[in-house]
Chains A and B, each alone.
Chain A
Amino acid sequence: MEALRKKAHEIITGGQVKVIIGYGEGSPERARAIFAQTPAEVDQLIFDQRCLQNLAVYLMKPEVKALGKMAITASKNVLRSILQLASENQLTDADLVVIGITDDGGVIEFPNLQAVEEHIKAAGTPAKNEDRARIEEIDKKPLEERWQYWQEQLSACVKCYACRSACPMCYCTRCTVECNQPQWIPAPSHHLGNLEWHIMRAMHLTGRCIECGECGRACPLGLPINLLTQKLAAEIESQFDWQAGMSLKVENPLSTFKPDDKENFIK
């Protein structure tokens, strides 16, 4: 924590950045995001095991961008989100300074995004989290049970779109769900529109989701909606040998193709 604050002081007093996005004390069990603009605020920065939120989401919010050049304290998930955003031409070195943090609170300095890419590549294939096992378990159920399971889960959804707001990759200024000419997704929070909304959300995150699970954590009803996006991430990984947020190259599996793509895959 000391190393983190020291580094943060350095770049704020040195005038390198205008705001540092980091974690601060929230309620007793939770840390929350803070936006440190002064040395006094920098002293409130913390990092411990409660700091789970994927802060990369704030890099895309106009309110935060308006504050000026940003720095961000970035754990592994945040680093991968940053790479993914950069590969989608949403971030450049001119926009931000990345302060990497290791799991035990140490600081890694990154001169530029290229260095972030090298660091992530060197760390190798990210470990699979326990959600993958959960997905397989659900997929093994017979069709009827899967349908019941998801209907039960999704029918509770109140369409607050917290999942969308919490996701760093959901940065469109106009979301399909808000289109009403035609109305692609019915607006009421009802079984039908809920199913469509969650399928659409997952589809739009295909090949982009870095599996941080933030959508699931953000859901006020605790619905396991992150399993939907992660299911597609797993699928993309097995079919196209692709993982999001691993490089700065623009090469989303859904915007590229190989002439020898297996046709049996579509059946």
Chain B
Amino acid sequence: MAFEPRIVGFLCNWCSYTGADLAGTSRVKYPFNVRIIRVMCSARIDPTFILKALSDGADGVLVCGCHPGDCHYVEGNYKAMRRYALLKKTLRSLGVEEDRVRLEWVSASEGVRFGEVIADMTEKIRKLGPNRIKAELILDKAER
């Protein structure tokens, strides 16, 4: 069977989730590969969440927040940005393809863009192939 990427999307409640909602209500077509988890703010996303998603078998992790300056909690997305950048560097130096994680700003009115981001990311991950953390390291379920 052809490889279908599985992407976990962490979306902030105020802009990005609403943006995704708009994509839905305006019937934007985008790939079905993303599973969305709503969080209150992009700053809520602990690097551990991303790691857990990757090690539990996600092929990619998408983090979406409000555009800089628009965060509902004023500065959440700026902090998320720094944290995320460092996680990416760490993954890179450990030999994990850094493109598996991606940060995007999506506002409440950008339903169409949300669709485009998902489509673009899905294609990129499809090229990268299955996540090797999952492929090479996953434990037997019984071992857990």
Contacts and interface: CB of A to CB of B under 8 A. Distances in A.
Q: How large is the interface on A (under 10, 10 to 19, 20 to 34, 35 or more residues)?
A: 35 or more
A200 B48 contact: yes
Interface stretch (A34-42, A96-104, A186-194): A186-194
A190 B142 CA distance: 13
Contacts of A132: none
A203 B139 contact: no
A266 B68 CA distance: 13
A176 interface: yes
Interface in B126-143: 132-133, 136-139, 143
Main secondary structure of the interface of A (DSSP, over half): helix
Contact of A254 (B82, B95, B136): B82
Contact of A139 (B79, B93, B136, B137): B93
A161 interface: no
Interface size class on chain B is 35 or more
A231 interface: yes
A2 B47 CA distance: 49
Interface stretch (B4-12, B84-92, B111-119): B84-92
B94 A146 contact: yes
B61 to A, nearest CB: 13
A196 interface: yes
Contacts, number: 112
B109 interface: no
Interface stretch (A11-19, A50-58, A166-174, A256-264): A256-264
Interface stretch (A76-84, A122-130, A147-155): A147-155
Contacts of B30: none
Contact of B95 (A148, A190, A236, A257): A148
A206 interface: yes
A186 B51 CA distance: 11
A144 interface: yes
A235 B86 CA distance: 8
B103 interface: yes
A162 interface: no
B53 to A, nearest CB: 11
28 contacts: A145-B95, A146-B94, A151-B95, A151-B136, A191-B136, A192-B55, A193-B139, A195-B55, A195-B137, A196-B52, A199-B47, A199-B51, A200-B47, A200-B51, A202-B90, A203-B83, A203-B86, A206-B86, A231-B89, A236-B86, A255-B79, A257-B79, A257-B81, A258-B78, A261-B78, A261-B81, A261-B82, A265-B85
